[in-house]
Structure 1
Amino acid sequence: MSPEIGHYALVLALALALIQSIVPIWGSRKGDATLMATAPSVALGQFAFVTLSFAVLTHAYLVSDFSVENVYLNSHSTKPLIYKISGVWGNHEGSMLLWVVILTLFSALVALFGRNLPLSLKANVLAVQGWVTVAFLVFILKTSNPFARLAPAPFEGRDLNPLLQDVGLAIHPPLLYLGYVGFSMSFAFAVAALIDGKIDAAWARWVRPWTLVAWIFLTAGISMGSYWAYYELGWGGWWFWDPVENASLMPWLAGTALLHSAIVMEKREALKVWTVLLAILTFSLSLLGTFLVRSGVLTSVHAFAVDPERGVFILAILVAFIGGSLALYAWRAPLLKQGGLFAPVSREGALVFNNLFLTASCAAVLVGTLYPLALETLTGAKISVGPPFFNWTFGPLMVPLVIAMTFGPLLAWKRGDLLAVAQRLTLALVVGIAAIVVTYAVTTGGPVLAPLFVGLAAFIVVGAMVDIAERIQLFRAPASVSFARARGLPRAAWGTAVAHAGVGVMLLGIVGETAYKQETIVQMRPGDSVQVAGYDLTLQALVPIQGPNYRDLVARLQVREGGVPVGTMEPAKRLYTARNMPTTEAALKTRGVSQLYVSPGDATADGSIAMRFFYKPMVLLIWIGTLVMMLGGMLSLSDRRLRVGAPKPSARRAAAVQAAE
């Protein structure tokens, strides 16, 4: 399959994107249904051409066509098949093509499943998506052509960056991009609504499923990336506040705030202006992350490009979309009518509180990420903003947030009773206090506040259960009645409780790993043993192993607990021969939700090797918690109410609202 076919398909896709960005919105302004109706078919055609282009590039990797420069720089004929496939997006050009594939996929999904959308809104949404697609297609064709040829063709490729030759990194980028790019739908709905000048409860219900899909995938992408860094980089950490890690966290925080704000707008038609602003800012932060990764302003294991031309181009895209959308917002937002009022102590009030702390924490991460870059640009001085800054700014903002998260679902709409909710949460409070006491009793060492956070995690998990128990009147009504109420409970209610419980589970894992981990670094020879957290580990041998495109020096360790063998661990120092690049392959042994973690150093001439041992209690709860959060998101997404329009107000209420306006 000729690479020129892929390049030509991108040109055709750009032509369709131009049509999609102009014709539907022109039809909307003129009230021409025929012009507006062109948007879905053009969006589907555009998706087909971009997908064809991606398939051509994938084929070039599978057959090791080294006449394509992108394949030569990022592949090798002896590389395993899975990494030939993941190599397609393991580089700047291929990852940008994947970005556009996902962007056009969302446009195609709107075209196929947006039948309940008003024709004008659907046309404007697809037009805005078309604007974004045009920008990125021009960027690819002008600065990042994945089909550039080499003549003569090299005999062999340079291989993919060894750090990216991992199953986790094969899955992580597509999940992350589905989240990043998915928020373009929220952005498109916001801009389209500002163009129409009509934003109501129905709009909030239409935008929520798309936002929820993006949030679920971004959660999955961040979680997978965290776990990959944990086991692949050999340093034993799961989050380092790297600027590129922060670039994915910021849209997640803003997207979480957007989800909760949209609920208030749907239920009370309040927070219209704020919800639209959040929709714009969330995708803007996704674009900012793209700029940070690809502009060359950062040096990171995550960073792809260092070409200034690409950075300037992406900066222009950033300015155009963020500046343009905010200018439109400043013009149209004052014309939006506000909805119903509510008391500070209410479910709406709790959701506003949630938004306040989520956006404040997002701002803290933004400042910590961009301040060193701004300072270096303005003064030339280089500083590093590391974990201490984020731990002391981001962490304290999360505490009141998670407490409010437990109270909020139990409060009534419009006006709530805080004392009554506190009484309902008595069981959760008792369990939380018991967890604090037990933790103090069974642990020695560690931060003095760690048991308090263990108790807070237990309070969150039990509080989420209390929410469901209250809704189904558990133990207050006959079992048959409670069961019937549980079956009739909206899936969104189950989803909220499950997602909130997932936050508590993740917090418990963070506290366990951070406060109570044990670390030992020793120099070992075959036959030597070391004790870590009650386990005896004996180095049996150093074994060289030849892989398909690498050489391993494996440290084979026998693990015993109480003198009884419980298995072996085989960490390795690996050398990828094509690039002559070493990597560290850590070994993990799971014991319940805790793990033994072994990371080898370099072998010395005397036959010894440096070994780094960790015991990480409850560490797996970090990622189990994110899986539970995703499950909660999927339960909410399956709620049939998100697949139909918002209920129309009664005639009496509509007349009252009209009179008030």
Structure 2
Amino acid sequence: MIPELGHFSLVLALVLALVQAVVPMVGASRNRLTLMAVGRPAAQGQFFFVAFSFACLTWAFVTSDFSVEYVALHSNTATPLYYRITGVWGSHEGSLLLWALVLALWTVAVTVFSRHLPDVFLARVLGVLGWVSVGFLAFLLVTSNPFERLLPGAPEGRDLNPLLQDPGMIIHPPLLYMGYVGFSVAFAFAIAALLSGRMDAAWARWSRPWTTVAWVFLTAGIAVGSGWAYYELGWGGWWFWDPVENASFMPWLLGTALIHSLAVTEKRGAFRSWTVLLAIGAFSLSLLGTFLVRSGVITSVHAFATDPKRGLFILFLLVVVIGVSLLLYAWRAPRLAGGGGFAFVSRETALLGNNVLLSVASASVLLGTLYPLFLDALGMGKISVGPPYFEAVFVPLMTPVVVLMMFGPFLRWKGDTLGPVLRRVAPAFAASVAIGVGTAFAIGHATPRTVLGLALAAWVVLASVQQLAARLGERAGASSAARLRGIPSAWWGMWLAHLGVGIFIIGVTLVGSLNQSLDVKMRDGQRAELAGYGFVFRGVQDAAGPNYDAARATLEVSRDGVAIATLRPEKRLYRAQGMPMTEASIDIGPFRDVYVSLGEQLPDGSWIVSLYFKPFISWIWLGCALMALGGIFAAADRRYRRLAERSAPAGAARQAA
């Protein structure tokens, strides 16, 4: 009965989504306040029914209701409870229900925190979000119903994919979807602005915090997914340029460009057309990435043939969302000319250059991801586009991005003189080159890529320190605490995010340059050496988990005769699916990781053991954390809070009327 209630709740949510999509739009076009006011309760009602449906599916997993086909395919009575709950979004149907829930949550947040918006504009924003909800809910009900019954019910489930039975996978998809779907709000603001013709600084100010929060979630989601791949796959890598990774990275790149473009539109009134196009592009890539991953197209382009109805629905929804928004943009964009002018040497020019480079980088990732699929679909053979292509294209594009990122803050708005700016940045730039070259020779890895990475990282750190010192020097008479408090939260957000990029580059450069690995055959008591560390193999013992059996090795790690850690990697066999899994063991340090994974047992009783030395790899995730923290600071800027506080009385008066 509960699964039927969950299915019926989705039907009711679809009805309310249609009301939310149509009625406020009609009210906005006719300037009817009563019709526009329908959007808010319709959105909140839709959220209630989608949340109830999600709770029903969760209950089916918690109670192991194997009469629901989706539960039978992705759960098992022996699966721990927290992984049974994770199974709710562990595959296509449940992940789309999570998508719909997150979209409804973002929409409710707009109804609560955007009361300061003009009624007509808010009605159009809610209407656009309603149409997006209609598409997803219809997709769920027509082709991807997670409540399909299996009669007779299965006596036991097949269990959740062992790769997903990890704490990282509990939080990675919700974070990622909060980022993906969050760009729908920026998209809705952009479409509402196109419909109303209001493309001024106020529109950018309204949209900017929503876009920044979505970017923070997407950054955190990508970082958690990268960390999961690092320790769970047993290969010691943190990024593989896999199509699934690219699917989230593309909207992140455009979202980064969008945040900076919104800043220019808000402060100077420039980039209006470009900002709208970036908002459309970021959400379009979020849709494309979600559907590429969840439709099976990435695994095999022939997934459309195995389920043509689902594939056609995906294509139709993509064409409608992307096509209609671009047609509207083409109709309205010629009227958006104007805005603040600026000279060639100006902060606007630096930001525009960065935006273009980020967009080109996103397009290059898109090309490398889709090109093999197109060739396979056209019967022209199978090819693999891997790290060599992406690194050859991506590094030359992102190097000037980093340079402009740190050069731009030293430039004035509208126009500046190049000579004085060069004199300000020259000392830090020269020092960064010297640091990059000197450090590369000191570590014995003076390759062009290592020198470039270390010099860029040093440039970011030194320029960040220089910017902070200049900012504090603006109020020389005040105390240090007063000067720190006087710096706006948005500036701190920019500073932390840029510093995070520098820390990230250090981690990527050093782990790529100094990483060492060794695959060795080991017996009980045998010793191996790697990067100055000694590893003594102390045998393998059997261990039983709740739904798997494991062979657990013990390795004692020492350096210069001093014990460092005891690592216990495992080779697991999950009972329900008979699927083997490698569970690595890592000694994590601030400047290096020592990483061990257990391979196969050989006929002579010895084991293959993979040893890895990963210098500064933790700095990769530290950099991501600083970027996300910077986004939080930027979104929490007091200007947005004051805007809401000033507008609260007006919103209350409108509601009373």
Give the TM interval when normalised to the shorter protein. Answer: over 0.9
**Residue 633 of structure 2 aligns with which residue?**
635
Question: Which residue matches 2:653?
Answer: none
Q: Secondary structure at the match of 1:641?
A: helix
Structure 2 Cα separation of the partners of residues 419 and 206 of structure 1: 37
Length-normalised TM-score, structure 1: 0.95
Correspondence list, 1:96-495, <5 A: 96-299=96-299, 307-426=307-426, 428-429=428-429, 431-445=431-445, 447-473=447-473, 477-478=476-477, 480-495=478-493
CA contact (8 A) 1:509 1:622 kept: yes
Q: Quick check: 1:297–1:306 contact (8 Å CA) kept in 2? A: no
Contact 2:253 2:362 in 1 (8 A): yes
Structure 1 residue matching 2:378: 3-state secondary structure: helix
The range that moved more, 290-299 or 72-81, is 290-299
- CA distance in structure 1 between the partners assigned to 2:411 and 2:446 by the alignment: 36
- Residue in 2 that maps onto 1:654: none
* Whole-Å separation in 2 of the counterparts to 1:230 and 1:57: 31
CA distance in 1, matches of 2:336, 2:564: 65
Question: Aligned letter for 1:162?
Answer: P
The match for 2:588 is 590
2:85 counterpart of 1:78? no
8 A contact 2:440–2:454 mirrored in 1: no
Q: Cα distance, 1:199 vs. partner? A: 1.0
Deviations 1:306-364 (A, max 9, x none): 73322221111000000010011111111224201001211111110110110111111
The range that moved more, 305-314 or 573-582, is 305-314
Letter in 1 for 2:534: D
What value does the CA root-mean-square deviation take over the aligned residues? 1.9
- Name the CA distance, whole Å, in 1 between partners of 2:269 and 2:97: 39
CA distance in 2, matches of 1:109, 1:153: 39
Distance 2:596 2:307 in 1: 37
**1:417 CA displacement:** 3.2
Mean Cα displacement is larger for which, 438-447 or 558-567?
Answer: 438-447
Q: Helix, strand or coil: the match of 1:241? A: coil
Q: Select the residue among 513, 528, 540 that pairs with 2:511.
A: 513
For residues 176-222 of structure 1, the C-alpha deviation after alignment (integer angstroms, 9 at most, x for no partner) is 00000000001111111111111110000101111101100000111
User: Within the alignment, does 1:496 sit opposite 2:497 as a pair?
Assistant: no
Q: Identify the match of residue 605 of structure 2 among 601, 604, 607.
A: 607
CA contact (8 A) 2:92 2:295 kept: no
1:401-452 deviation digits (Å, cap 9, x = unpaired): 1011001112111112333333333553354234224413421246343033
- Structure 2, unmatched stretches of 5+, are 647-657
CA–CA separation in structure 2 for the residues paired with 1:306 and 1:431: 59
* 1:561-602 alpha-carbon deviations (Å, 9 max, x no partner): 111111101111110010000011111112323101112211
Given that 1:295 and 1:308 are in contact with CA atoms closer than 8 Å, whether structure 2 keeps it comes out as: no
Distance in 2, Cα, partners of 1:571 & 1:149: 40
Alignment deviations for residues 452-502 of structure 1 (CA, whole Å, 9 cap, x no partner) = 31121021022122212111118x935x44542321111000110110000
What is the match of residue 544 of structure 2? 546
> Which residue matches 1:531?
529
Partner of 1:616: 614
Of 449-458 and 432-441, more deviation after overlay is shown by: 432-441
Tell me the equivalent position of 1:656: none
In the alignment, the residues of structure 2 paired with residue 440 and residue 224 of structure 1 have an alpha-carbon distance, to the nearest angstrom, of 30
Runs of 4+ residues deviating >4 angstroms: 303-306
TM-score by length of structure 2 reads 0.95
Counterpart-to-counterpart distance in 2, 1:57 and 1:522: 46
Q: 1:561 aligns with which of 559, 562, 566?
A: 559
SS of equivalent residue, structure 1 residue 146? coil
Residues in 2 aligned to 1:305 and 1:543: alpha-carbon distance in whole angstroms: 46
Question: Cα distance, 1:379 vs. partner?
Answer: 4.2
Q: Structure 1 residues 173, 319: closer, same or farther in 2, change over 3 A?
A: same
On the 8 A contact 1:202/1:645 being kept in 2, the answer is no
The amino acid of 2:316's aligned partner reads: A
User: Per-residue deviation at 1:299?
Assistant: 1.6
User: Using the alignment, how far apart are the partners of 1:116 and 1:606 within structure 2?
Assistant: 73
Q: Aligned equivalents of 1:609 and 1:164: distance in 2?
A: 26
- Over 3 Å counting, the alpha-carbon distance change for 1:568 and 1:446 in structure 2 is farther
Amino acid at match of 1:58: T
How far the C-alpha of 1:370 sits from its partner, in A, is: 1.2
Secondary structure of 2:45 counterpart: helix
Aligned-residue offset at 1:244: 1.5
Alignment length (residue pairs): 644
How much has 1:267 moved relative to structure 2? Answer: 0.8
2:78 and 2:124 map into 1 onto residues whose CA distance is 48
CA distance in 2, matches of 1:165, 1:99: 20
The 1-side partners of 2:305 and 2:131 are apart by: 24
Q: Residues 276 and 448 from structure 1, CA distance in 2 versus in 1: closer, same or farther, beyond 3 angstroms?
A: closer
The code of the aligned residue for 1:582 comes to P
- Which amino acid letter does the alignment assign opposite residue 214 of structure 1? A
d(CA) in 2 for partners of 1:375, 1:337: 40
Residue 651 of structure 1: aligned partner = none
Work out whether residues 295 and 312 of structure 1, in 8 Å CA contact, stay in contact via their aligned partners in 2. Answer: no
> Within 1, Cα distance between the matches of 2:2 and 2:304?
26
Cα deviations by residue, 1:33-76 (Å, 9 ceiling, x for unpaired): 10001101110010011000001111111111111111111011
| 8 Å Cα contact 1:296-1:306 kept in structure 2 | no
Give the distance between the partners of 2:295 and 2:62, measured in 1 at CA: 29
Per the alignment, do residues 290 and 440 of structure 1 end up closer, same or farther by CA in structure 2, a change over 3 Å counting?
closer
CA distance in 1, matches of 2:618, 2:418: 35
Q: What is the distance in 1 between the residues matched to 2:57 and 2:254?
A: 34
Distance 1:71 1:146 in 2: 8
In structure 2, C-alpha distance between the alignment counterparts of 1:135 and 1:448, rounded to whole Å: 49
Structure 1 position 368, deviation (Å): 1.0
**2:294 & 2:77 partners in 1: Cα distance?**
27
Separation in structure 1 between the aligned mates of residue 47 and residue 634 of structure 2, nearest angstrom: 28
- Give the whole-Å Cα distance in 1 for the aligned partners of 2:348 and 2:48: 43
